[in-house]
Amino acid sequence: MSIYRPVKVLLSHVAASLGLLGTRVRHANHYLRRTKNKNLDILALSILGLLLLGFITKNLQTPAERVFEKEYTVEEASDLDTALDHSKGDYIHSFPEPVKKALQNVIQHIIDNPIDGHLDKQKESECNTGKVAITDTSKFGQLTESSLKNCIQVSDEITAKLKASQTAFISKIRSDLTVKYDSIDGGAFHNEGIVMVGGGKFSLFALTALKAIRANSGVQTRNTAPIEIIFPSDDDDDKTFCESVLPVVDPSGLTKCIFLTDVFDRPSSSNMPAQQLKALALLVSSFEKILLLDADNYVINSLDDYFSHNELQERGLVLWPHFWRRVHHPKLYDIFNVGIDRSNVVRNCFDDVSPKYMFQKEKLDETPFHDFDHAIPDGCTETGQLLINKKKHLDTIILNLYLHYNGEAYFYPLLDQSVGLDGNQDTLTLAAHVLHGERSYYQIKAPIESMGYWLDSQTGSPLNDEELDSVTAKRFYRTAWLQHDLVNDWNFHATGNNIINDNVYEREITFCNQWLHDHNDSFAKADQAQQIDQCRKSDDFKKTFEYIMKTSYKLSDISSLYKYTPVTFVHSFSPQYDPWECSQREESIFHTTDPKDKTKNRSISIHYRMYDSKMSRLTNYDLELENWLIFKEVLCEYPDSYKKFSYLAKHIEATETPEESAISMCAYIRARVKYLQDTTWST
């Protein structure tokens, strides 16, 4: 490799990053110009300053195709088996016997002590609670305690049974299950790393997720972070993936496979739902500090400082929010002996920085239940990514497994009340809250966002940015969720808290001076400071000032604090990067007649992107292109490469002509790569 290449890479990337930064600065400047008062100017300037600092320190990264350098490339091999000869390192993790016994002890106790029966999931006719978005203030009235009690009915008998079960299990955690871990010489887990679940089609997703991590996770993280991929079974095809595909894709030796069947018998792990597998992955991982990622969740910006962040050090758990407010049944708190202070409103949804008089209801029983002190804060948890310290939260992880094991029967419906939410994503939050309280976790404040593409409703054709305004009948297709950066989110939250308090104080003093002028006879003669103090203590003044502040309060103003928090994760779920399914359904292809054909008998196929131009403003990493490039590299460069993936082999071999099916899949992949290369913004 040329000695100048690293310099060229850095310079080109700095230029690209500054271009992207310029776009964000222009957005911030536009926001600043629209700001109409001095106090919000301060807010906007502070946001801009944090934006500049955070972007410069976290976003100077090298494009994937250059960071993903290796001494030996797959193009140079005639087949994957040859590539294996050039790999290094042991790619399969083995468990020390004491750790294995501690793991088995936890699972065996959960399996041996199930809660009998099940909860009636049928909603009552009086239930008016549904999915309420965290920003949809018009529906917050559906979330009062009385409303939440009117959905799924929980009898006193079931409450008592669940309370007895969880009390016994938590006692077992403290007296035995965690004690076995504490007694292991040298400790059961060490260091820090990234964990995801593989197996079947998730192994394909893991390839693309792994590439994104190594490309984008930051100067410190991308070349040093170990990764563990957890497999529910020890099928030969999964072992082939670990022994022959993984070393080619990541020759660093930092990525290893863990097979649950090395610890548990096959029935205990092979048929687990995805959420339970993720819960088990937290327990079996060898890491002390874990970033757990779904295999279809992609890192597009830096993870530097995540594992050393103050919130992880102090609290031990960082969570990311979903779109929805919580609908947990109030009886859930009784079951776990969590006392809710119904006299103390401490937040308004995700706003925990504004003075509470701005949003508190005159009647406390009209308050959304989860705004009371000691309730779990909004919004619901989205577990496509989470950050946890096992030393602080080993008991939380074990209780989470218990909740999942009894989830379908009891805890999922208690969490989501059968209104279409995912109660299985809120069990870890519940476990931490029950065992350690609200201060034991930090949930990202920046609201989750959507990304996707637009189609013309009449023609079905994809729409670019220039066409959107001119087409009235159009439909948005959501393909991914966007989750934001921990470091910048925490900075914005801390700064926003200070700014809002200063803003309120300044407005109070200004209003007090006007009040003194209008009500001079009501106050004793004194110097200005003393009069201000008298004014602020006046009941009439406080009542009037708080009324003015309350009538001008908007929850949307609080969300603007996080408007420029960088995106770190793209959870791409519809469609997933499944080369077989995408090729069969011809995903992201629009069929139309050839405009050059006067007979209009000849059709053409037009590829389009599944993310709109927003993606290019978030990162320099062309996620679509990089994902399809790796599929082309691993699946289409050698004969029968698909056979190394059990998921692909199962589907392709089931067709009438497997060879032609494989060729057709690769034709789609190559066409996709060609189109994406022609339209990329990546430098």
User: What is the full DSSP assignment across 8-60?
Assistant: HHHHHHHHHHHHHHHHHHHHHHHHHHH--SHHHHHHHHHHHHHHHHHHHHH--
The mean per-residue pLDDT over the stretch 220-239 comes to 87
Q: Which residue has the higher pLDDT, 167 or 243?
A: 167
The mean per-residue pLDDT over the stretch 145-166 comes to 95
Q: Would you say residue 249 has pLDDT above 60? A: yes
Diameter of the chain measured on Cα atoms = 97
What tens digit of pLDDT does each residue of 310-367 get? Answer: 999 999 999 999 999 999 999 999 999 999 999 999 999 999 999 999 999 989 999 9
Which of 10-19, 38-47, 106-115, 660-669 is least confident? 10-19
**DSSP symbols for 606-647:** EE--SS-THHHHH-S--HHHHHHHHHHHHHSSSTTGGGGSHH
Q: Would you say residue 525 has pLDDT above 80? A: no
What rounded mean pLDDT belongs to the chain?
85
Q: Please, which pLDDT band fits residue 598 given cuts at 50, 70 and 90?
A: low
What pLDDT is stored for residue 121 in this prediction?
84
The mean per-residue pLDDT over the stretch 583-607 comes to 77
Q: Would you say residue 212 has pLDDT above 90? A: yes
What pLDDT is stored for residue 403 in this prediction?
97
What pLDDT is stored for residue 48 in this prediction?
52
The mean per-residue pLDDT over the stretch 252-258 comes to 92
Strands 190-197 and 227-231, sheet pairing: parallel
What pLDDT is stored for residue 26 in this prediction?
40
**Upstream peptide bond of 218 is cis (omega within 30 degrees of 0):** no
Q: How far is CA 165 from CA 10, 152, 159, in A?
A: 58, 20, 10
Dist. CA 326–CA 323, nearest whole Å: 10
What tens digit of pLDDT does each residue of 531-562 get? Answer: 888 888 889 989 999 999 999 999 998 988 89
Q: Would you say residue 195 has pLDDT above 80? A: yes
What pLDDT is stored for residue 79 in this prediction?
52
Which positions ≥6 away from 568 have C-beta within 8 Å?
A: 299, 300, 301, 302, 303, 483, 484, 485, 486
Q: Would you say residue 595 has pLDDT above 90? A: no
Q: Would you say residue 21 has pLDDT above 50? A: no
The mean per-residue pLDDT over the stretch 594-612 comes to 75
Sequence ranges of the domains in the chain? 1-73, 124-186+315-443, 190-299, 577-609+622-683
Q: Would you say residue 32 has pLDDT above 60? A: no
The mean per-residue pLDDT over the stretch 194-208 comes to 95
User: Which of 611, 563, 27, 23 is closest to 300 using CA atoms?
Assistant: 611
- pLDDT above 90 coverage of the chain, percent: 62
Dist. CA 139–CA 451, nearest whole Å: 24
What pLDDT is stored for residue 591 in this prediction?
83
**DSSP symbols for 534-553:** HHHH-HHHHHHHHHHHHHH-
The mean per-residue pLDDT over the stretch 161-179 comes to 96
The mean per-residue pLDDT over the stretch 503-528 comes to 84
Q: Please, which pLDDT band fits residue 176 given cuts at 50, 70 and 90?
A: very high
The mean per-residue pLDDT over the stretch 411-427 comes to 90
**Contact status, residue 534 vs residue 524, Cβ threshold 8 Å:** yes
What tens digit of pLDDT does each residue of 420-447 get? Answer: 788 899 999 999 999 999 999 999 999 9
What pLDDT is stored for residue 186 in this prediction?
87
What pLDDT is stored for residue 44 in this prediction?
52
Dist. CA 107–CA 116, nearest whole Å: 17
Q: Which residue has the higher pLDDT, 537 or 299?
A: 299
Which of 51-55, 159-163, 314-318, 421-425 is least confident? 51-55
What pLDDT is stored for residue 197 in this prediction?
96
Which of 24-28, 89-93, 111-115, 266-270 is least confident? 24-28
Dist. CA 627–CA 552, nearest whole Å: 47
User: Which of 212, 225, 222 is closest to 299 using CA atoms?
Assistant: 212
Top-tier CATH class for 190-299: alpha beta
The mean per-residue pLDDT over the stretch 118-132 comes to 87
Q: Would you say residue 49 has pLDDT above 60? A: no
The mean per-residue pLDDT over the stretch 230-246 comes to 85
What tens digit of pLDDT does each residue of 465-485 get? Answer: 888 888 889 899 999 999 999
Report residue 578 as tokens. 């499944």
Q: Please, which pLDDT band fits residue 263 given cuts at 50, 70 and 90?
A: confident
The mean per-residue pLDDT over the stretch 10-19 comes to 38
Q: Which residue has the higher pLDDT, 515 or 599?
A: 515
Angle at 520 between CA 515 and CA 521, to 5 degrees: 135
Q: Would you say residue 523 has pLDDT above 90? A: no
Q: Would you say residue 271 has pLDDT above 70? A: no
